[in-house]
Amino acid sequence: MPPQLTEVTGEPLPVALTGVPPWEWFPLLLEKAARRCTRNGERLVLVVDGLNGDRGVTGGGDGL
């Protein structure tokens, strides 16, 4: 997802962030992209898929 957000912001992902956990920089990148969309009269839509993929859920659809 970071490549798509950097496309929206028009700025590359800083190299200094490559070793930093995503929860530290992702909210800032997301906010920057949302502000740019708002400024341009657009909407930023965030689609999250696979929420239970890392939880070892194998079926049932109610893993959350």
Read off the pLDDT of residues 18-46 as tens digits, 9 standing for 90 and up: 677 878 888 888 999 999 999 999 999 98
What pLDDT score does 28 carry? 87
What pLDDT score does 57 carry? 57
What pLDDT score does 61 carry? 56
Look up residue 2 and give its two tokens. 């970071």
Higher pLDDT, 27 or 17: 27
Burial status of residue 5 (CB atoms within 10 A of its CB: 0-12, 13-18, 19 or more): buried
Higher pLDDT, 42 or 64: 42
